[in-house]
Structure formats: C-alpha cells, structure tokens
C-alpha cells in the first residue's frame, strides 16, 4: 500500500523521466567517446569490456550519483514543501516505512539504469572490438556489483534529505560529499569503501585486489547501518519535535 | 522601490538559509587535503611547473571543475524555493515592481553568492598556503594581485553559466529537471574543453580559464593564450539571451 502511494507521489515530480534522461545521457557517453576516438581504445591491450569500463565508468558513475542525489532531494521535497510529512505522520503508517519504500524505488530504478549502462558498454565492446561477444554472465555480475556498491550512497542521501526540510541544504550536502570524495586521494583504500566513493569502483579493479567480497560485505553493512540510523532518527524526531 | 532596496530585501530573505555554510564547507574541504598533501606539489612528474604554481592550480582545479557550477545550481534552488512556501512569490509579484527587475535582482543575488564563495576561497588559499609553507619550509604563497585577478577571472567566467542555470530554474518549474539538468551538464565540461567548440558551452568557461592558466605556468600542457575572439561575443550573446528569456518568463506560471 505505502509503496503504491509513494510511486503515486512521484508521478508529477518528473522523477522517472529525470532518471531515464540521465540514464540515456550516461549511456550516450561511451558511444560518443568511441565515435570520437575509437583508435585510442582499440589499440590498447587487454579485455575490451574492461578497457571501456576503465575509460568511461568514472563519468557514468558520477552521473548516477548526481541523479541519485537529485532524486533523493525531490522525494523528500514533496513531503516537506507543503507539510505533507506532517499529514503522513498522522496516518497509521510508520515513518520508517516511507523511507524503506523510497529506498526501494530508488534502488529499483538505479538497478535498471545500471543494467542498461553495462549492456550499452558491452554493446560498444562488441561493435568496436572484433574479438568480443555478449557474455550475459559478465553483464549480470558487473551490473550487480555496481548496483550493490551504490546502495550505501542511496541510503545516505535519503537519510540526509529526510533530515533537511529545505531542499537546497540536502542538495548542498550531497554535492559537497561528491566534491569531497572526488578530491581526496584515491589511493587510500578505506576512503574508497565509503558511500559516494564506492560507486566509482569497477569490478575488474576490485577483482585485481581480491576485494569483491569485501566490497559487497562492507556495502551491505553500510546500508544496514544507515537504515538503522534513519530508524533512530525517526524515533528521535518524534521526541524532539 | 529602488533596485538597491530590492536587493537588500532579497538578501534579507536568504539570511537564515544557511547558504553561507554550504558555500564555506567545500572551500575548506578543498584546501585541507591540499595542505596536508602539500609535499606532492614537489613531485611534478616532468611537467615544467613550479611547486607554488602547482599548489595554486591543483587546489583550484576541483573548485572550478565541479564546485562553482554546483554552487550556482544550489543557489538557483535556494532562490526559487525560499518563496515557494506560503506563496511568497505571489506577494512579491503583486508589488509595484517590474517583474524583470525582480528577476534580475535575484540573478544579482546568485552572482553575489558566488562572489562570497570566491572571497572564502581566496582567504582559504592564503591560510592553507601559509600553513603549507610552514610545514614544508618552502614558500608557497603567490603574489596577492596574481591570485585575486585569477580567482576573479574564474568566477567572472562563471557568469554566463549562472545566467543559463537561472534560465533553467525559471523555465522548468519541476525542480528535479532544472537541478538534474544543471548537475548533469557539469560532467561533460572536462571533455568539452579539449574540443574546438568549447566556447559554445558556458559550463566549461571557468575550467577553460584555469587550464589556460595551467598552460601559462607549465609549457606545453594546454593553450597559453585565451582565445578571445569567438569566445567573448558568444559568451555575451549567451548571457544576454538567457537573461532575456528568464526576465520574460519570470513569474509567468504564477500570473496565469
């Protein structure tokens, strides 16, 4: 019930078209890159798919993070803008359930976008590199990994936007986090595990250092902890307000 | 109402918005790592650049590439959303003030916010350069006129972009689109400045100006001269056009 309500709320905010638009732009990225300078990449040795991932994923992941921030801000903006959150509080619905549904929606859309992005990247590899073929297992594995490592970012961003009544503050906080993690040195391993930094990780990069399991575990753990944080925040808000 | 008092009213509106905090935190975030890692500026990897220039350019790099545009997007959200609750904008539109004046005043506030960030940025640069000089026993501090002129040029180069973002915010009433469009348009500027047509893409201007500065400090990295000729007229046209469109459409959905 709450889930259907949540999707209805988003209907006129342009949430879905915005995500689709961002998804299409990010998918256009590797295609344009290959059209412009395919020789730079086709001459490189190694696995074609991994070459393309290394060349394009940073930008694509950044677009994913930015649209996640934007989406999270909008989701809570609709609640706070006309005191909708107060009305929701009077309903027999637990506030944490709202959060869970919002998380579920974002995670689903993000999964679709990431899967699409990986398919496009594979398509580029097949088109421009003679000796590569569609391998559905790799596609699913990569997409699953990239999705999982972006979940803590989604949760943290939703947590921030649930805390800020004004949209510019949650947006500002999200943008500052993106900025901070983009300037911190990339060679620090602990930093790379954190939300807003983990989505840039590619599967092959994690595979090289035998970190796939670690990444998956840490990201699931972070998501759970942040979810718990929201539960506590919702409880605390009731007592403080 | 005079333009000046209108400006004061607009500034009063954002007094409690905590926007100055949002302007200040990224500046500090930018300079703390570069102070701690100041040693890395000596490792120039064969690029002919002096450590103090390297410190300045590396520090400003993240700022111009990502944070100046992002701040402008946040600023447009602030300006459009503060008056959304209780229909504040309707009351403003009913005052005997021309809507285009109102629109331009709000734009001036947007520019003012980015100038405030510039001042923070210059201040933070000097603080971190002084600390880094102490830590590394090497003088990282550059001539104040050089730093101020360059920082001013970077932020001045952001004005056409601000006009375009402001136009987005006014034309597109759904915030997810205007914000999303603004944020997404930041990302390609890294690629655009390496093409010949960079001057038609206002989001890349500040980054271009910084890269030219990099080219001046280190031979052969990038162009050493700013290509003024097609750029300045195009930038002026983009700015004027964007502001004209936003003045015409300002408050249109409320007046209907």
What is the C-alpha to C-alpha distance for residues A28 and B160, in angstroms, rounded to an integer?
26
Which of B18, B37, B180 faces A185 most closely, judged by CB atoms? B37
What backbone phi and psi angles, to 5 degrees, belong to B226?
A: -75, 130
Q: Mean pLDDT across the stretch A145-171?
A: 91
CB within 8 Å: B174 and A183? no
Residue A241: which pLDDT band, with cuts at 50, 70 and 90? low
Q: Angle between the A15-42 and A95-128 helix axes, to the nearest 10 degrees?
A: 30
Q: How far is B3 from chain A (nearest CA, A)?
A: 26
Residue B39 touches partner A, C-beta closer than 8 Å? no
Give CA–CA dist B126/A84, Å, rounded. Answer: 46
Q: How far apart are alpha carbons B87 and A99 in whole angstroms?
A: 28
Chain-centre distance of CA B134, in angstroms? 30
A contacts of B34 (beta carbons < 8 Å): 183
pLDDT above 90: percentage of residues in chain A:
34
Can you state the angle between helices A95-128 and A212-240, rounded to 10 degrees? 150
Quote the Cα angle for A33-A37-A40, to 5°.
Answer: 110
Q: Do B62 and A179 touch (CB under 8 A)?
A: yes
Q: Is B62 in Cβ contact with A183 (below 8 Å)?
A: yes
Q: Per-residue pLDDT for chain B (256 aa), expressed as one digit of tens each?
A: 788 888 898 888 888 888 888 888 888 888 888 888 777 777 767 677 788 888 888 888 888 888 899 999 999 989 888 887 777 888 888 888 888 888 999 999 999 999 999 999 999 999 988 888 888 888 888 888 888 888 998 999 999 999 999 999 999 888 888 888 898 888 888 888 888 888 889 998 999 898 888 888 877 767 777 777 788 999 999 999 999 999 998 888 777 7
Chains A–B, number of C-beta pairs less than 8 Å apart: 98
Spatial distance between the Cα atoms of B129 and B108, rounded to a whole number of angstroms: 31
Q: What sign does the dihedral B73-B74-B77-B82 (CA atoms) show?
A: negative
Radius of gyration of chain B (CA): 20
Q: pTM of the prediction?
A: 0.90
Share of chain A above pLDDT 70, in %: 99
HEC assignment per residue over chain B:
CCHHHHHHHHHHHCCCCCHHHHHHHHHHHHHHHHHHCHHHHHCCCCCCCCHHHHHHHHHHHHHHHHHHHHHHHHHHHHHHHCCCHHHHHHHHHCCCCCHHHHHHHHHHHHHHHHHHHHHHHHHHHHHHHHHHHHHHCCCCCCCHHHHHHHHHHHHHCCHHHHHHHHHHHHHCCCHHHHHHHHHHHHCCHHHHCCCCCHHHCHHHHHHHHHHHHHHHHCCCCCCCCCCHHHHHHHHHHHHHHHHHHHHHHCCHHHHC
CA atoms within 13 A on the CB side of B204: 19
Average pLDDT over residues A114-140: 85
Cβ neighbourhood burial of A229 (10 Å; 0-12, 13-18, 19+): middle
Q: What average pLDDT does the segment A94-115 reach? A: 91
From A156's Cα to the closest Cα of chain B, the distance in A is 18
B215 touches chain A (CB under 8 A): no
Work out the mean pLDDT of chain A and round it to a whole number: 86
**How far B62 CA lies from chain A's nearest CA (Å)?**
7
CA-closest candidate to residue B153, choices B85, B97, B77, B210 = B210
What sign has the CA pseudo-torsion B245, B205, B23, A63?
Answer: positive
State mean pLDDT over A57-77: 91
B15 lies within 8 A of chain A by CB: no
Is A180 in contact with B74 (Cβ distance < 8 A)? no
* Shortest alpha-carbon distance between residue B214 and chain A (Å): 18
Query: Is pLDDT larger for residue A39 or for residue A221?
Result: A221
| Interface touch B22/A172, C-beta < 8 Å | yes
Residue B84 has its nearest CB partner, among A14, A81, A185, at: A81
Is a pLDDT exceeding 90 seen at residue A113? yes
- Which among B25, B33, B179 has CB closest to A185? B33
Cβ-proximal residues to B215 (8 Å cutoff; 6+ apart), any chain: B221, B222, B223, B224
Residue of A nearest to B174 (CA): A13
- What whole-number distance in Å separates Cα of residue A229 and Cα of residue A162? 11
d(CA A121, CA A194): 25
Sorted by sequence, the CB contacts under 8 Å of residue A65 that are 6+ apart come out as: A150, A153, A178, A196, A199
- Whether chain A has a CB inside 8 Å of the CB on B85: the answer is yes
Range of the domain at A199: 2-240
Lowest mean pLDDT among A33-47, A145-159, B108-122, B241-255: A33-47
A18 and B180 in contact by Cβ < 8 A?
Answer: yes
Question: Is B22 an 8 Å CB contact of chain A?
Answer: yes
- H-helix or E-strand containing A58? helix A48-81
- Residue B133 · residue B141 · CB < 8 Å: yes
Q: Given this model, what pLDDT does residue B135 score?
A: 84
CB-closest option in B29, B78, B174 to A168: B78
Q: How confident is the model at residue A103 (pLDDT cuts 50, 70, 90)?
A: very high
CB contact (8 A) between residue A13 and residue B176: yes
Question: How many domains is chain A partitioned into structurally?
Answer: 1
């Amino acid at each position: 019930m709450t889930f259907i309500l949540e999707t209805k709320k988003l209907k006129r905010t342009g949430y879905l078209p915005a995500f689709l638009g961002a998804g299409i732009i990010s998918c256009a990225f590797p295609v344009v890159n290959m059209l412009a300078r395919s020789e730079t990449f086709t001459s490189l040795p190694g696995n074609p798919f991994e070459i393309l991932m290394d060349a394009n994923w940073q930008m694509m992941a950044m677009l994913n993070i930015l649209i996640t921030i934007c989406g999270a801000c909008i989701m809570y903006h609709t609640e706070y803008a006309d005191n909708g959150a107060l009305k929701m509080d009077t309903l027999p619905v637990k506030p944490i359930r709202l959060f869970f549904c919002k998380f579920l929606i974002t995670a689903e859309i993000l999964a679709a976008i990431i899967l699409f992005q990986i398919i496009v990247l594979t398509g580029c590899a097949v088109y421009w590199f003679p000796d590569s073929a569609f391998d559905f297992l790799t596609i699913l594995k990569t997409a699953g990994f990239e999705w999982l490592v972006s979940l803590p970012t989604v949760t943290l961003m939703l947590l921030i936007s649930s805390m800020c009544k004004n949209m510019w503050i949650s947006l500002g906080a999200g943008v500052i986090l993106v900025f901070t993690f983009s300037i911190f040195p990339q060679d620090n391993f602990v930093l790379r595990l954190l939300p807003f930094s983990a989505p840039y990780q590619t599967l092959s990069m994690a595979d090289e250092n035998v970190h796939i399991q670690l990444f998956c575990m840490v990201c699931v753990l972070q998501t759970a902890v942040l979810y718990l944080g929201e539960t506590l925040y919702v409880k605390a808000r009731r007592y403080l307000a | 109402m005079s333009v000046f008092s209108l400006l004061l009213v607009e500034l009063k509106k954002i007094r409690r918005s905590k926007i100055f905090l949002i302007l200040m935190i990224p500046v500090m975030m930018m300079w703390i790592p570069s102070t701690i890692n100041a040693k890395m500026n000596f490792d120039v990897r064969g690029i002919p650049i002096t450590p103090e220039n390297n410190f300045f350019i590396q520090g400003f790099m993240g700022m111009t590439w990502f944070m100046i545009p992002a701040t402008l997007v946040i600023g447009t959200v602030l300006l459009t959303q503060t008056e959304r609750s209780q229909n504040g904008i309707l009351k403003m539109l009913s005052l005997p003030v021309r809507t285009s004046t109102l629109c331009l005043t709000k734009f001036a506030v947007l520019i003012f916010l980015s100038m405030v960030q510039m001042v923070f940025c210059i201040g933070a640069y000097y603080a971190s350069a002084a600390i880094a000089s102490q830590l590394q026993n090497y003088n990282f501090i550059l001539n104040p006129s050089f730093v101020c002129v360059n920082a001013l040029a970077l932020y001045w180069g952001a004005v056409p972009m601000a006009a375009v973002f402001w136009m987005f915010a006014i034309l597109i009433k759904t915030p997810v689109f205007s914000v999303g469009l603004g944020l997404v348009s930041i990302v390609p500027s890294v690629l655009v400045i390496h093409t010949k047509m960079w001057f038609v893409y206002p989001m890349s201007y500040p980054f271009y100006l910084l890269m030219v500065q990099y080219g001046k400090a280190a031979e052969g990295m990038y162009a050493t001269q700013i290509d003024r000729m097609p750029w300045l007229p195009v930038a002026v046209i983009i700015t004027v056009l964007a502001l004209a469109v936003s003045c015409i459409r300002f408050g249109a959905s409320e007046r209907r």
